[in-house]
């Protein structure tokens, strides 16, 4: 089974900072990767799919990149409303749709 | 807009059963795969099952295989999750979610508010 490892598990950054979250697959998954945002006490929300395509309505300060085994989610100019836990999810196979462990983003 | 509303959550004893339902509105339900994802208290997201738009093409996570059964009724625009042989490890919020349209698009583009399930004696 392919494992998804996110790093860091948590981070603290200042408003306006550029934030990068990494997701690594234990085997290649092409570009079959999605990113989700879950604000405290809220429902997860799809941010990015196919590794780099922004879901409709998501602010352009969010971007995704990568393919194969290494992926990144970047938040350009972190905003207070971006405080959340971010998850990656692989979907290269319908047999197993694994999520990463999550990265908690806080404001310094 | 897309609406997904879960129901049926609650408290159940270890070894017991529970059935969750998800009512869909705002989109052509029969055209989409659907899935269930759960989140244990203070933990991350765990995909547990999804079902094809016609009711076939079903897949389960190993953690629930043989105990949970996913089904759907396109006429009623609803999906269900029958959960059997429950243990404390199944305690979680269970989310109903829509799978993205298209080929090999097994990400979840819309989520319900979640149904809490607590397994405790």
pLDDT number for residue A31:
96
State whether residue B45 sits within 8 Å of chain A by CB.
Answer: yes
A51 to chain B: closest CA residue: B107
Is the CB of residue B79 less than 8 Å from the CB of residue B18?
A: no
Confidence of residue A42 (pLDDT cuts 50, 70, 90): very high
Question: Distance between CA atoms of B118 and B90, rounded to whole angstroms?
Answer: 8
Residue B10: CB atoms within 10 A of its CB come to 11
Query: Mean pLDDT across chain A, nearest whole number?
Result: 97
Question: Distance between CA atoms of B57 and B71, rounded to whole angstroms?
Answer: 11
Please report, rounded to a whole number, the percentage of residues in chain A having pLDDT higher than 90. Answer: 95
CA B16 to mean position of chain CA atoms: 18
State whether residue B61 sits within 8 Å of chain A by CB.
Answer: yes
Query: Mean pLDDT across chain B, nearest whole number?
Result: 96
pLDDT digits (tens, 9 = 90+) for A55-78: 999 999 999 999 999 999 999 999
Task: Among A49, A92, A98, select the one facing B47 at the smallest CB separation.
Answer: A98
- How close are the terminal C-alpha atoms of chain B, in Å? 40
Cβ within 8 Å, pair B104-A95: no
Cβ within 8 Å, pair B45-A87: yes
State whether residue B65 sits within 8 Å of chain A by CB.
Answer: no
Per DSSP, A80 falls in state: G
Q: Which two tokens stand for residue B103?
A: 């080929």
Examine the pLDDT at B103 and tell me if it is beyond 80.
Answer: no
Examine the pLDDT at B44 and tell me if it is beyond 80.
Answer: yes
pLDDT number for residue B101:
84
């Amino acid at each position: 089974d392919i494992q998804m490892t996110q790093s860091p598990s948590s981070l603290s950054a200042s408003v306006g900072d550029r934030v990068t979250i990494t997701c690594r697959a234990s085997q290649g998954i092409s570009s079959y990767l999605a990113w989700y945002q879950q604000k405290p006490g809220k429902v997860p929300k799809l941010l990015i799919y196919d590794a780099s395509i922004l879901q409709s309505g998501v602010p352009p300060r969010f971007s995704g990149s990568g393919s194969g085994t290494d992926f990144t989610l970047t938040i350009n100019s972190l905003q207070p409303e971006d405080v959340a836990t971010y998850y990656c999810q692989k979907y290269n196979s319908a047999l197993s749709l694994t999520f990463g462990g999550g990265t908690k983003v806080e404001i310094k | 807009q897309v609406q997904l509303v879960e129901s049926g959550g609650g408290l159940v004893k270890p070894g017991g059963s529970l059935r969750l339902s998800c009512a869909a509105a705002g989109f052509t339900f029969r055209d989409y795969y659907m899935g269930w994802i759960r989140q244990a208290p203070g933990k991350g997201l765990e995909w547990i099952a999804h079902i094809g738009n016609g009711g076939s093409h079903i897949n389960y996570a190993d953690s629930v295989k043989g105990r949970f059964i996913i089904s759907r009724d396109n006429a009623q625009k609803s999906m269900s999750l029958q959960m059997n042989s429950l243990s404390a490890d199944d305690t979680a919020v269970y989310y109903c979610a829509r799978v993205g349209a298209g080929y090999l698009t097994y990400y979840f583009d819309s989520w319900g508010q979640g149904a809490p399930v607590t397994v405790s004696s």
